[in-house]
Amino acid sequence: MTHSVKIGVSGTGFIAKGLISLLASTDDMKVVSILTRRPIETVEGIQGRQALTNDTDTFLKNVDLVVECSGDVIHGSEVIDQAFKMNLPVVTMNSELQVTTGSYFAKRGFITEAEGDQPGCLAALHENALSMGFKPLVYGNIKGFMNLNPSLEDMTYWSKAKGISLPMVTSFTDGTKVQIEQALVANGLHAGILADGLTGETVENIEIGGQSLAEKTEHNGKPISDFVVCRQGPPGVFITARHDGNQKEALSYLKLGEGPYYTLSTSFHLCHLEIIKTIRRVVDGKGILLNNTAHPSVSVKAVAKRDLTAGETISQGIGSFVVRGEACSIEDNPDHLPIGLLSQAVIEKPVKAGETLTFSNVSIPGSFALNAWNDIIKDTRPVFS
């Protein structure tokens, strides 16, 4: 490498701040531009303040690679569109964007999710497993706790206690985040799902959960993406797989059990600390780690947490107290409204608690993200505007 790679970071939240701080100590990479939608004078706790800008054109000038980690589907899609017009590669830590508009971009340029969050960590574990001869059956995410309809009071407490935004902690708790992550994994690793909303079995340990899911998968015809709720489990990911029979004794000796199912796990995901590995992967020409592919089969629909009445406005879908996300088959849910597109949406017809929001009962403002979604699924359902 003959020069420091010039990095542009889109976002100034927890992930962006951590990545910018980490890159400040590297010799082969340099953050030269930081895009924020906040008034620049209000951005706190970030290194390299001189690189801050509110202007996308300024942000993209003189960068070699963009890291999109704003956590926002609508805004992030517009940023990536501009980056692609300049032939810039894009690394994301934005699974919400990937499952909503990522397939549009996968057909048009270089976009990859990074290691750090569970999807990227599963993709890395997948590569490792394949290299050792394992045949994955289950791509698993591990959650310690879930409450499908948490209270504002509880989420406000935990938001302050953990130092993360209220929508973020809410999407973690109500399962929306894990549904989004596993939808991305299903598409990116060419797996399926057993049911809308996944199974989310509560288990004593991940080996038990992995075996249970693997047994169900054998009748499915291809690997599945899912998650388990395991209070004592590590904050990581796992793959449950088969291996050739001639390795049975060796795998038993190596403490992986008697088979036929073997569970490999990564006991951590270190968010921004791991993004740097994917940046180096891209710079070194090693290709895409994971994206939503050009032809996804799984999306994440919005499901009402309570009865919704005509005329109500939903300012934000992901991390809200009125809807949550559920992974779903696109083919079986042709009219579903992806939760990532829910922004300033207006309820046109009443929706009962537990029902799926659709383009027929909700209207949303026009946006680049909406146009990208219509392009993705134009061959499977009518276009909505």
Give pLDDT tens digits for 246-295.
Answer: 999 999 999 999 999 999 999 999 999 999 999 999 999 999 999 999 99
Q: What are phi and psi of 24, to 5 degrees?
A: -65, -20
Position 380 scores a pLDDT of: 52
* Sheet with 313-316: strands ordered across: 313-316, 343-347, 362-363
Under the banding of pLDDT at 50, 70 and 90, the label for residue 385 is: very low
Q: Is residue 370 pLDDT above 70, yes or no?
A: yes
For residues 119-148, average pLDDT: 97
Average pLDDT in the chain: 95
- Residues in the chain, overall count: 385
For residues 230-251, average pLDDT: 95
Structure tokens at 273: 């600390």
Q: Is residue 241 pLDDT above 70, yes or no?
A: yes
Separation CA 24–CA 22 (nearest Å): 5
Structure tokens at 319: 């991390």
Position 220 scores a pLDDT of: 79
Which pTM was predicted?
0.96
Question: In this structure, how many other beta carbons lie within 10 angstroms of the beta carbon of residue 27?
Answer: 7
Position 186 scores a pLDDT of: 98
Q: Is residue 188 pLDDT above 70, yes or no?
A: yes
Query: Going by C-beta distance under 8 Å and a sequence separation of 6 or more, which residues neighbour residue 3?
Result: none
For residues 214-238, average pLDDT: 93
Query: Going by C-beta distance under 8 Å and a sequence separation of 6 or more, which residues neighbour residue 197?
Result: 179, 326, 327, 328
Residue with tokens 């169900």: 216
Give percent above pLDDT 70 in the chain. Answer: 98
Domains delineated in the chain = 5-114 (3.40.50.720), 118-266 (no CATH), 298-376 (3.90.1210.10)
Q: Is residue 133 pLDDT above 70, yes or no?
A: yes
Under the banding of pLDDT at 50, 70 and 90, the label for residue 35 is: very high
